[in-house]
Amino acid sequence: MGPVRLMKVFITRRIPAEGRAALARASDCEVEQWDSDEPIPYKDLERGLTGAHGLLCLLSDCVDKKLLDTAGANLKVISTLSVGVDHLALDEIKKRCLIHSGIRVGYTPDVLTDATAELAVSLLLTTCRRLPEAIEEVKNGGWTSWKPLWLCGYGLKESTVGIIGLGRIGQAIARRLKPFGVQRFLYTGRQPKPKEAAEFQAEFVTTSQLAAESDFIIVSCSLTPATKGLCNSAFFQQMKKTAVFVNISRGEVVNQDDLYQALTSSQIAAAGLDVTTPEPLPTNHPLLTLKNCVILPHIGSATYGTRNTMSLLAANNLLAGLRGEPMPSEFKL
Ligand code: GLV
């Protein structure tokens, strides 16, 4: 028997234990990992990917045409530790499917839905009840007495909530917000989803109507050419002055300069962002100077359990793809 030819797998970062262990057990793979919590420099990524059969990457790794060219014809699977796939040059990947035998893409939907929805609700409440400002006042001596008009915010009871993208995560957010006494749910998207919307009696509306009628707006759509820059000055101008805007999707759905303008001119009440452009947001960014803007460092899925499960799913996607088996979560190109 000749020597077994191992498939080369490259992992772009340290990943949680379960995924790492699954790959370590794969006797048909030779696994190389960028053994750091910090991003891999582009040159090292190019080197690691050269001749690789499988790539396990993160949403912060931009897998572009140049990188795909570097990888070469061996590359069979890209498995991303994320539900979003906007960092992958999907058109280029599709083209290669026509030329070579094909590149399959794995991703991690479903397993992060609950954690991300929890974070969205946390961010919404943190923003609309002004928690960071309140915490700061306790620390800096601003808390001098209980004051009837001090640090008031907006409550969810009898409100209208607008959800941009009633997908898995959008629905999970609505499900969690309903018991707060929300009166009406509105949503936008590519097309109406009557079956899913029925649970919340959610109404499919235009983006303008959603902007104009919502007290709280949550962006939970994926980033596509159709959603890029969707929340711009025209959008913010249509919003109520008392409305709160939350984005847990991708920074690029929002025009950040327009958001800054809307927040500083009291066009809208407040914003909570778990995602920005760029990431990380530079510490001198103007949005960080605003009391009515709460910014988190893209932690939607960041629970220990969820990240572990994501890593295992990403590893299993990769291995199944390499072995020509059905992937647990394959992204349909
Ligand atoms: C997080 O943003 C993800 O895409 O998993």
User: 82 in ligand 1 pocket by Cβ < 6 Å?
Assistant: yes
Residues contacting 207, CB < 8 A, separation 6+: 164, 188, 230, 235
Q: Look at residue 1 and tell me whether its pLDDT is greater than 60.
A: no
pLDDT digits (tens, 9 = 90+) for 277-295: 999 999 999 999 999 999 9
Q: Look at residue 260 and tell me whether its pLDDT is greater than 60.
A: yes
Coil vs helix vs strand at 147: coil
Q: Are the beta carbons of 187 and 216 closer than 8 angstroms? A: no
> How many angstroms is it from 314 CA to the middle of ligand 1?
13
pLDDT digits (tens, 9 = 90+) for 13-28: 999 999 999 999 999 9
pLDDT digits (tens, 9 = 90+) for 110-152: 999 999 999 999 999 999 999 999 999 999 999 999 999 999 9
Active site residue 298: yes
Pick from 88, 117, 82, 121: nearest CA to 104: 88
User: 84 in ligand 1 pocket by Cβ < 6 Å?
Assistant: yes
User: 85 in ligand 1 pocket by Cβ < 6 Å?
Assistant: no
d(CA 329, CA 317): 6
Neighbour-count burial for 10-32, b at 16+ CB within 10 Å, e otherwise: bbbbebbebbbebbeebeebebe
User: 109 in ligand 1 pocket by Cβ < 6 Å?
Assistant: no
User: 300 in ligand 1 pocket by Cβ < 6 Å?
Assistant: yes
DSSP state of 41: P
Q: Are the beta carbons of 170 and 163 closer than 8 angstroms? A: yes
Report, as an integer, the average pLDDT of 166-181.
98
Report, as an integer, the average pLDDT of 32-48.
96
Q: Look at residue 5 and tell me whether its pLDDT is greater than 80.
A: no
Give the distance from CA 287 to its chain's centroid: 19
Residue from 60, 110, 219, 301 to probe ligand 1 pocket by mutation (most atoms less than 8 Å from CB):
301
| Index of the ligand 1 atom closest to the CA of residue 82 | 5
Q: Look at residue 2 and tell me whether its pLDDT is greater than 70.
A: no
- Which residue do the tokens 């009291």 mark? 266
d(CA 23, CA 25): 5
> How many angstroms is it from 216 CA to the middle of ligand 1?
22
Q: Are the beta carbons of 84 and 331 closer than 8 angstroms? A: no
Q: Look at residue 3 and tell me whether its pLDDT is greater than 80.
A: no
Q: Look at residue 7 and tell me whether its pLDDT is greater than 90.
A: yes
Instruction: State both tokens at 146.
Output: 């209980």
| Index of the ligand 1 atom closest to the CA of residue 248 | 2
Question: 98: pLDDT confidence band, cut at 50, 70 and 90?
Answer: low
d(CA 146, CA 169): 38
Residue 112: CB atoms within 10 Å: 24
Question: 34: pLDDT confidence band, cut at 50, 70 and 90?
Answer: very high
- Residue 99 is predicted with a pLDDT of 65
d(CA 247, CA 251): 8
Protein residue with least CA distance to atom 3, ligand 1? 82
Q: Are the beta carbons of 28 and 54 closer than 8 angstroms? A: no
Coil vs helix vs strand at 126: helix
| Index of the ligand 1 atom closest to the CA of residue 84 | 4
Protein residue with least CA distance to atom 5, ligand 1? 82
Give the distance from CA 58 to its chain's centroid: 11
Instruction: State both tokens at 14.
Output: 């340290």
